Chain A
């Protein structure tokens, strides 16, 4: 190492030092500690008691709440994720039309995505109110009696999904940026070759957008598994645990019931689910994501 290189390395490490300290405190320590806690029974009042794999055994064999929270979360992901992906793409295609005033529409559709989960939840409690809410009022104009939405066993989860789909503008904006990166020459060339609009969409737009779709799919996947605020604010997991999402269960176990050991096992399980889903998507991506070069 020359003196200059040594000086560079020193400056580099110095610049990184806040992050390295932060990594140990805010990442490495908590992750390792969670793994350790998950093998213990611990209510904070007394020192942890080592119970080996007991927490996991309980989770997989005799915990109905684990099953129902996993079911609710999976259902939510299955309903909201594909819908958001498709509707987001359709909205982005609309927003990409070259028409004066489109910027104003972009602003409008993106608004739901920047408002906090709490404000959105509160707004929607009132919006979907079975008696005085807008949706049931509009339905009543057509002689339809609207459901009880958040207060109905079968409608609560779809209602939460609809609310999350309302935020589709966030995804649409990302797709829009992807669309605008597609070189115009490709469309011109295709037009000269006589490709139809439909053909251009399937042969140019969609393949060139796959990297953006892939990125957004991963972000939304992780996000969907972490659904929490809506259950906390609106439904409290009900009715009959139909919206008892996994992270809400984790929160109640850890910070209401102080079952730190069992909650750690739950947290780790959710991490494994999210990571495997992500790895699965990344694995399949080689088949459908188009990369130049």
Chain B
């Protein structure tokens, strides 16, 4: 069998150009990685510095030049921080608020959304638009009347002001759940109805089990928002022991001269629950944000 020299040449050229393209791509990837890694380092610097500080000795805080990675990490600082600041107490308070708010959001949003998504009644569209427009109302406008109301009801310095609203449905979650329920085929409801199921058993047996992605978004967002909430707790709570972690940390920073190596440890500990939830749920978080960004 003879080999055509022209053909050999062509395949050789092809191989060479593929090799060239691959080399070009490799360089391109290297550049992008270099850019991304340096950007990531810049972005993580404040967090890295917090972690590094939390492991230093007090005298190393002011050392010049500073030590980037403590040569002798003081893990005992964390135990000391927990002893010095009531961190465990504050985090427990935050956890109580988070759980109470998640229960409220899970009880209210699916039921209300079910009404919007599945039934027809007079003024439904007006009510839906009214609800959506409440998403645009900044929360600060409501603070004074609610404060006065809670004062009259003797609810200041209790957790009720921080918990109750969740049980009446947040517009954002109602909207999210309504949009999601609309994508569930109505044939499923009809089939269940023929089998004799009432509207509520359809909701709890058929629809809610199919809403898991949306419910995950509700849980994750409620967690993040409640854990990070600051303005409402500082207004509605007074007793130091009842503070959630965000207010507790700010309180210590404002009132005492800070031992920064302990305090940075405390701050780092305060964001760990957020980071854990974020790492496990980021797919849902981003999906939920995106769904709202695009459809909203």
User: Interface of A with B (CB < 8 Å)?
Assistant: 5, 8-9, 11-16, 18-23, 25-27, 29-31, 33-34, 37, 44, 91, 94, 97, 99, 101-102, 105-112, 114-127, 131-134, 137, 166, 169, 173-174, 177-178, 181, 211-212, 215-216, 222, 225-226, 228-229, 232-233, 247, 250-251, 254-255, 260, 263-264, 267-268, 270-271, 274-275, 278
| Contact call B115/A30, Cβ cutoff below 8 A | no
CB contacts (< 8 Å) of B270 on chain A: these are 116, 119
Contact, CB under 8 Å: A127 / B119: no
Interface centre among A11, A225, A251 (most CB of B within 10 A): A11
- Chain B contacts with A in 5-42, Cβ cutoff 8 A: 29, 32-33, 35-36, 39-40
Q: Which of B43, B124, B169 contacts A112 (CB 8 A)?
A: B43
Residues of B within 8 A of A102 (CB): 36
**CB atoms of A122 and B120 under 8 A apart:** no
Among all A-B residue pairs, the 7 with the closest Cβ atoms: A22-B168, A15-B115, A177-B290, A12-B119, A116-B228, A30-B142, A33-B145
Contact A211 B145 (CB under 8 A): no
B122 and A11 contact, CB distance less than 8 A: no
Given contact pairs A30-B145, A101-B33, A115-B275, a sample of 4 additional A-B residue pairs in the complex whose CB atoms are under 8 Å apart: A16-B115, A31-B141, A123-B49, A174-B290
Residue of A nearest to B111 (CB): A15
Least Cβ distance of B265 to chain A in Å?
11
Interface of B is mostly: helix
B residues with a Cβ closer than 8 A to A are 29, 32-33, 35-36, 39-40, 43-47, 49-50, 53, 61-62, 65-66, 108, 111-112, 114-116, 118-122, 124, 127, 130-131, 134, 136-138, 140-149, 151, 165, 167-169, 174, 199, 224, 227-228, 230-231, 234-235, 246-247, 249-250, 253-254, 260, 263-264, 267, 270-271, 274-275, 278-279, 282, 285-286, 289-290, 293-294, 296
Which of B122, B130, B271, B296 is within 8 Å of A215, CB to CB? B296
Report yes or no: A211 in contact with B294, Cβ–Cβ below 8 A: yes
Q: Are B46 and A18 in contact (CB under 8 A)?
A: no
The answer to whether B148 and A260 have CB atoms under 8 Å apart is: yes
CA distance A18 to B109 in the complex (A): 9
Q: Does A127 lie within 8 Å of B294, measured CB to CB?
A: no
Q: Are the C-beta atoms of A215 and B263 separated by less than 8 Å?
A: no
Q: A247 near B140 (CB under 8 angstroms)? A: yes
User: Considering the chains assembled together, what is the distance between the CA atoms of A254 and B199 in angstroms?
Assistant: 46
A211 to B118, CA, bound (A): 28
In the complex, the answer to whether A126 meets B147 with C-beta atoms within 8 Å is no
Separation of A216 and B289 alpha carbons in the complex (Å):
11
Given A27-B134, A34-B142, A99-B29, A11 and B235 touching (CB < 8 A)? no
**Can you list 28 A-B pairs with a CB-CB distance of less than 8 A?**
A9-B119, A9-B121, A12-B115, A18-B112, A18-B169, A19-B112, A21-B168, A22-B108, A26-B165, A29-B149, A44-B151, A94-B32, A101-B33, A107-B282, A110-B278, A111-B44, A114-B275, A116-B271, A127-B50, A132-B61, A134-B45, A137-B65, A174-B289, A174-B293, A178-B293, A222-B138, A229-B231, A271-B138
Most B C-beta atoms less than 10 A away, residue of A107, A115, A233 = A115
In the assembled complex, the Cα of A31 lies from the Cα of B267 at a distance in Å of 36
Alpha-carbon distance A99/B140, docked complex (angstroms) = 43
Of the candidates B111, B141, B250, which one forms a contact with A18 in the assembled complex, judged by CB atoms under 8 Å apart? B111
Per a CB cutoff under 8 Å, which of B134, B140, B250, B263 touches A267?
Answer: B140
Q: Are A122 and B263 in contact (CB under 8 A)?
A: yes
Q: How far is the CA of A125 from the CA of B46 in the complex (A)?
A: 10
User: Chain A contacts of B199 at CB under 8 A?
Assistant: 11
By the criterion CB–CB under 8 Å, are A118 and B134 in contact? no
- Chain B residues near A121: list those with CB within 8 A: 250
User: In the assembled complex, which residues on chain A have CB atoms less than 8 Å from the CB atom of B62?
Assistant: 131-132
**Closest partner residue, chain A, to B139 (CB atom):** A226
Name the B residues within 8 Å of A30 (CB-CB): 141-146
The answer to whether A34 and B249 touch across the interface, beta carbons within 8 angstroms, is no
Q: Which residues of B contact A107 (CB under 8 A)?
A: 279, 282
Interface of A is mostly: helix
Give bound CA distance, A258 to B250, whole Å.
22
Residue of A nearest to B275 (CB): A111
Inter-chain contacts of B145 with A (CB < 8 A): 29-30, 33-34, 37
* CB pair A5 B167 closer than 8 Å: no
Q: How far is the CA of A89 from the CA of B111 in the complex (A)?
A: 37
CB pair A44 B148 closer than 8 Å: yes
Nearest B residue to A271 via CB reads B141
A15 CB → nearest B CB, Å? 3
Across the two chains, which residue of chain B brings its CB closest to A9?
B121
Residues of A within 8 A of B282 (CB): 107, 110
Using CB atoms, name the residue of chain B closest to A91.
B39
Interchain CB contact under 8 A, B142 and A26: yes
B246 touching A116 by the CB < 8 A rule? yes
Residues on the B chain within 8 Å of A166, using CB:
43, 46
CB atoms of B112 and A15 under 8 A apart: yes
Instruction: Looking at the assembled complex, report how far the CB atom of B276 sits from the nearest CB atom of chain A, in whole angstroms.
Output: 11
